[in-house]
Structure formats: structure tokens, C-alpha cells
């Protein structure tokens, strides 16, 4: 009786080991088509990322390249620029690697009206509510500016520095853009030259209020 039980036990152990070995040899169906090492796409713009053109002028997209490791891959481009109409235009570049991971880059074009050309809106602007933070607006080039404090917080971080255009009389354009550790855009962006500017910040941490900044 004991011998019979032992034989059955041995058979059971051998069956278990055989099953384990068989399963161990099965390929991992979840990851079998995915590289053990994946290289995320790196997109490199040709030419300038931020561009300015006068209304009625010309603009030619210089394009972009993308690589996966050392291999060049395809870039998909979307977006157009209408140089006859003042505004801020965004051209988007996308690339996807063989494992399905994607990257995106952007190019910006400010088409500037005759009414806004040559006007300098740089200076310090203080928000009239909240923390009463100061935004330093710096002119980068004609009608292209930087603000170091998009939301008018008390102490801005590098991630709250953004770029925008004064593209038409009384109108600002702050398109979606990546900043260190964050991303921003703004809607309802307007300016009263020499007096104030205002916009609604598009970012989950900043609410939906219209923020007004008065020139100091």
C-alpha cells in the first residue's frame, strides 16, 4: 500500500515537473512582438521653431526628420499657414517607432497684421487679483514675446515661462507649447497697448478665470 502511494506520488511529481518545463518553454505571448530595448522617436526640426511673417508675405515649412536610435523613420506633418490672414499657426510633426511609441514636435508661425507691426509691448505687468504676481514680458523679435509668469503667481518657476505673439491690433496668440515639466496655452488673449493684457490659462492647475495683468 505504501509502495503504491509512493509510486503515485513520484508520478505526480514527474508530471508537475514536465508541465513546468513545458510552460517554461512557451514564448511570452504578451511581449513577443515588442523589442527588449525600445528607442523613442527623436524629432528634429529643420529651421526655426518660432517664426514671424508679415501678412501677405511668404512662409515655407522646412520640415523635420525623425530617428529611432540611429535609424531614420517617417515623420507625419499636419497643419497649414495662411499668410493672408493674421493669426498664430501651428504645424505638428509626429513619428512612431516600431513598438508603437510616438513623439510630437511643433513649429509656430505668427502672421502679423500691418496694424500690429512695430509695436513694442514689453515691460512688467502685475496681475490685478490672486497673488498679484508680476509677469515680465520680454521682446524676442518683432511681435514675438516671452512671459516669465503666465499665471501671475507669486513666485514663477521655469515651467511657467511661455512664448506668444502680438499678431493683430489688440490680439495676442499663445499656442499650446511644452515648458519644463508642463504644458500651456491660452485663450481669449487680448491687449490694450500700454495699459494691460489678459488671457485664460489652459492648464489643469490654473482654473478657468480670465487673468488680467496691468502694466507697471
Summarize pLDDT for 129-160 with one digit per residue, the tens.
999 999 999 999 999 999 999 999 999 999 99
CA 193 distance to own-chain centroid:
29
Question: Which residues contact residue 115 at a Cβ distance below 8 angstroms, ignoring those fewer than 6 apart?
Answer: 168, 169
Domain membership of residue 106 (yes or no) is yes
Closest-CA residue to 93 (of 102, 84, 101, 85) = 102
Domain membership of residue 2 (yes or no) is no
User: Residue 12's pLDDT is what?
Assistant: 34
Q: What is the count of structural domains for the chain?
A: 2
User: Residue 30's pLDDT is what?
Assistant: 54
Ranges of the chain whose pLDDT falls below 50: 1-28
Question: Which residues contact residue 31 at a Cβ distance below 8 angstroms, ignoring those fewer than 6 apart?
Answer: none
The residues that bridge with 177 in the sheet, in sequence order, are: 184
Same domain membership, residue 195 and residue 139: yes
Domain membership of residue 92 (yes or no) is yes
User: Residue 36's pLDDT is what?
Assistant: 78
User: Residue 113's pLDDT is what?
Assistant: 98
pTM given for the model: 0.82
Same domain membership, residue 55 and residue 97: yes
- Domain final position from 58, 89, 112: 112
Domain membership of residue 14 (yes or no) is no
**Are 44 and 93 contacting, i.e. CB atoms less than 8 angstroms apart?**
no
Same domain membership, residue 129 and residue 210: yes
User: Nearest-5° angle of CA 88, CA 190, CA 81?
Assistant: 10
User: Residue 140's pLDDT is what?
Assistant: 98
Same domain membership, residue 209 and residue 129: yes
Domain membership of residue 100 (yes or no) is yes
The count of residues in the chain is 216
User: Residue 65's pLDDT is what?
Assistant: 98
Question: Which residues contact residue 13 at a Cβ distance below 8 angstroms, ignoring those fewer than 6 apart?
Answer: none
Same domain membership, residue 145 and residue 85: no
User: Residue 90's pLDDT is what?
Assistant: 98
Domain membership of residue 208 (yes or no) is yes
Domain membership of residue 19 (yes or no) is no
State the residue range of the domain holding 196.
123-215
Amino acid at each position: 500500500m505504501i509502495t503504491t502511494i509512493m509510486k503515485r506520488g513520484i508520478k505526480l511529481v514527474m508530471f508537475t515537473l514536465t508541465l513546468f518545463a513545458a510552460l517554461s518553454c512557451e514564448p511570452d505571448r504578451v511581449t513577443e512582438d515588442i523589442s527588449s530595448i525600445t528607442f523613442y522617436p527623436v524629432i528634429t526640426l529643420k529651421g526655426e521653431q518660432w517664426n514671424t511673417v508679415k501678412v501677405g508675405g511668404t512662409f515655407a515649412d522646412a520640415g523635420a526628420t525623425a530617428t529611432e536610435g540611429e535609424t531614420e523613420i517617417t515623420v507625419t506633418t499636419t497643419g497649414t499657414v495662411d499668410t493672408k490672414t493674421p493669426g498664430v499657426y501651428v504645424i505638428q510633426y509626429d513619428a512612431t517607432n516600431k513598438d508603437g511609441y510616438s513623439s510630437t514636435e511643433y513649429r509656430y508661425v505668427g502672421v502679423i497684421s500691418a496694424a500690429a507691426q512695430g509695436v513694442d509691448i514689453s515691460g512688467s505687468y502685475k496681475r490685478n487679483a490672486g497673488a498679484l504676481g508680476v509677469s515680465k514680458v520680454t521682446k524676442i523679435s518683432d511681435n514675438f514675446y516671452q512671459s516669465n509668469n503666465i499665471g501671475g503667481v507669486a513666485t514663477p518657476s521655469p515651467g511657467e515661462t511661455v512664448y506668444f505673439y502680438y499678431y493683430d491690433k489688440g490680439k495676442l496668440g499663445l499656442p499650446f507649447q511644452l515648458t519644463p515639466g508642463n504644458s500651456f496655452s491660452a485663450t481669449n488673449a487680448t491687449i490694450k497697448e500700454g495699459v494691460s493684457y489678459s488671457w485664460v490659462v489652459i492648464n489643469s492647475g490654473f482654473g478657468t478665470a480670465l487673468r488680467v495683468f496691468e502694466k507697471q
